[in-house]
Amino acid sequence: MKNIFHNDLIILLFCIGSILLLARIFAEIAKKMKMPGIMGEIVLGIILGPTVFGTLNPELFETLFPPQGPVKIAMSGLTNLSVIMLLFVVGMETQLQVMLKHGKAAIYTSIVSMIIPFALGFSIVWYFPHFFNFWGEDKFPYALFFGVAMAISALPVITRILMDLNLLKTKIGMIIIAAAIFDDLVGWLLFSLVLSLIGQNSEITNIWLTVGIILGFGLFMITIGRWVINRTLEWMQKKPVWVGSAQSFALGLCFLSAAFTEYIGLHAILGAFIMGIAFGESVHMPERERDVIHQFVTNVFAPLFFVSIGLKVNFIQHFDLPLVLLVFFLAVACKVFGGALGAYLGGLNKRESLAVGFGLNARGAMEIILGTLALNAHLIDQSMFIALVVMALVTSMISGPLMKRFTDIK
C-alpha cells in the first residue's frame, strides 16, 4: 500500500492550492466575457494539462501531476468526491412537483425530449459505429452511452439561463425545467446501467434486479425517506445544540447513499443525486444551510473537478474535427427536434415549442461529467471525450440567444 510522504504531500497541497486560486481567476474572466464560469475552469485545465504545460515542460508537468503514485491516487479521490457532491447539489435543485404543475405539455415534452434523442443517438452508433471511432466487438454499451449523451440536459445551466432571461417562472420556463428533470433522472439511471455493464459481466436478470432495487430506493427516498428527513431536520431546528448541523447531516447521508448505489453495481453519483432530491424537497432544510452547501461545493470542489478535465487529455493531439462536428450536429438536431415536438404535441405553438427545444439543448456541466466518467471507465476514447466537451460548451452558449429569438423577450 502506497503512503503519501513528505514530498508527495507538498506537491498535492501545492497543486490543490494553485488550482483553486487560478480557477477562481479564470472563472471570473469567463463570466466577464459572458461565458459560463466552468468554461474558464476547463480552459485552465487545458493550460495546466498535457495540451500546453505538458508540451512546454513535460518533466515539470509529470512532477506536479504524476501519472501514477500517491499524488495521482489522492487527486483521483478528490475528483470523485467532487462529482458525487456536484450531483448531490444538482439533486437539491431538482423539484419533482414542477412536473405536475403543467400537465399535458410537461408530460409530452419530458417523454418525447428523452425518447427521440436517445433513440436516434443509440441507432446511429449501432448502425455506423466506425463514424464514432468505435472498433470494438461489444457496441451495445457504447451505443447506449451515446444515446444517453444525446438525451441528457444540464439542469443547473438551464436554470441559470432561464433566470437571466426572466423566463424561470413562466409557462415555457416551467415546462423546460420539468423536462430537464425527467431527462436527467432517466439519463443518469441509464448511464449507471452502462457503467454496470462494462464494469462486470452482468446477466440481464442481474441488471433488471439492479433496476428494481434502484427504483425502489428512489421511490422510498422521495416518500418515506423524505418524511424521515423532514422530521429529523424539524427536530434539529428545535434543539439549540443541533442548530447548524444540517450540512453534516445532508452530506453524511449523501455519501451513504452514494456508497449504497456503488455497492449494488451502479455509480455512486446516482445515489448522491437521489439523496439530493430528497433534501431538495424538504421544507425544513434551512435556506441558509442549503446555500452553504451549494457555495461550498460549487466554489471549492467543482473547480477541482472541472480543472481536472483538462489535465486528462491533450486537446490538440486528440482533436478530431469531423467527429466534433458530427457529435455537435447530432446533439443539436436530436434534442431541439425532440423537445420542440414534445412541446408542440403538448399544446404549445410553433415559436414556443422551438424555444423549449433550444432551452433543453443546453448540456453544460452534466454532459462534461457524463463524458469524464465514461472516459475514466475506458468506454470512450479521448477524441470522443473532446467532442462531447466542445458540444457541451457550445450548446450552453447558444441556448440563451436562440431561446430569446423565439420568445417575446427584447
Per-residue model confidence (pLDDT) at position 217: 86
Whether 359 is covered by a domain: the verdict is yes
Q: What is the mean pLDDT of the chain?
A: 83
Q: Which three cell numbers stand for residue 278?
A: 430528497
The model's confidence at residue 201, banded by pLDDT at 50, 70 and 90, is: very low
Between 123 and 1, the higher pLDDT residue: 123
Across 149-174, average pLDDT: 77
Per-residue model confidence (pLDDT) at position 202: 44
pLDDT(100) > 90: no
CB 360 within 8 A of CB 404: no
pLDDT(2) > 70: no
pLDDT digits (tens, 9 = 90+) for 220-236: 888 898 889 888 888 88
Whether 393 is covered by a domain: the verdict is yes
Whether 367 is covered by a domain: the verdict is yes
Nearest 5 degrees, angle CA 125-CA 184-CA 130? 10
Per-residue model confidence (pLDDT) at position 96: 65
Residue 216, Cβ density class (10 Å: 0-12 exposed, 13-18 middle, ≥19 buried): exposed
Whether 28 is covered by a domain: the verdict is no
Q: Output b/e per residue, 77-109; b: 16+ Cβ within 10 A.
A: ebbbbbbbbbbbbbbbbbeeebbeebeebbbbb
CB 120 within 8 A of CB 151: no
Across 83-95, average pLDDT: 80
Per-residue model confidence (pLDDT) at position 139: 86
Alpha-carbon distances of 53 from 5, 39, 46, 287, rounded to whole Å: 25, 18, 8, 42
pLDDT(392) > 60: yes
Per-residue model confidence (pLDDT) at position 252: 92
**Alpha-helix residue ranges (DSSP H) falling in 154-301:** 155-164, 171-199, 204-220, 226-238, 246-263, 268-280, 287-296
Across 188-203, average pLDDT: 65
The CATH number assigned to the domain holding 102 equals 1.20.1530.20
- % of residues, the chain, pLDDT over 90: 19
State in Å, rounded, how far the first CA of the chain is from the last one: 62
CA-to-CA distance for 361 and 149, rounded, in angstroms? 11
Q: Output b/e per residue, 228-261; b: 16+ Cβ within 10 A.
A: ebbebbeebbeeeeeeeebeebbbebbbebbebb
**Can you give the residue range of the structural domain that contains 167?**
92-286+316-405
Q: Which three cell numbers stand for residue 345?
A: 404535441
pLDDT digits (tens, 9 = 90+) for 333-385: 999 999 999 999 988 888 889 999 998 988 877 788 788 888 888 888 889 99
Between 116 and 214, the higher pLDDT residue: 116
Whether 138 is covered by a domain: the verdict is yes
Across 79-101, average pLDDT: 76
Q: Which of 114, 209, 197, 204 is nearest to 217 (CA)?
A: 209
Determine which of 123-127, 259-263, 405-409 has the lowest per-residue pLDDT on average. 405-409
Whether 83 is covered by a domain: the verdict is no
Whether 24 is covered by a domain: the verdict is no
pLDDT digits (tens, 9 = 90+) for 34-66: 776 777 888 898 899 898 999 899 899 888 888
Per-residue model confidence (pLDDT) at position 95: 66
Per-residue model confidence (pLDDT) at position 19: 93
Per-residue model confidence (pLDDT) at position 204: 42
Across 216-223, average pLDDT: 85
- % of residues, the chain, pLDDT over 70: 89
Per-residue model confidence (pLDDT) at position 1: 44
Whether 30 is covered by a domain: the verdict is no
- CA 230 to chain CA centroid, Å, is 26
Provide the domain count of the chain: 1
**pTM strictly above 0.75:** no
Determine which of 133-137, 273-277, 392-396 has the lowest per-residue pLDDT on average. 133-137
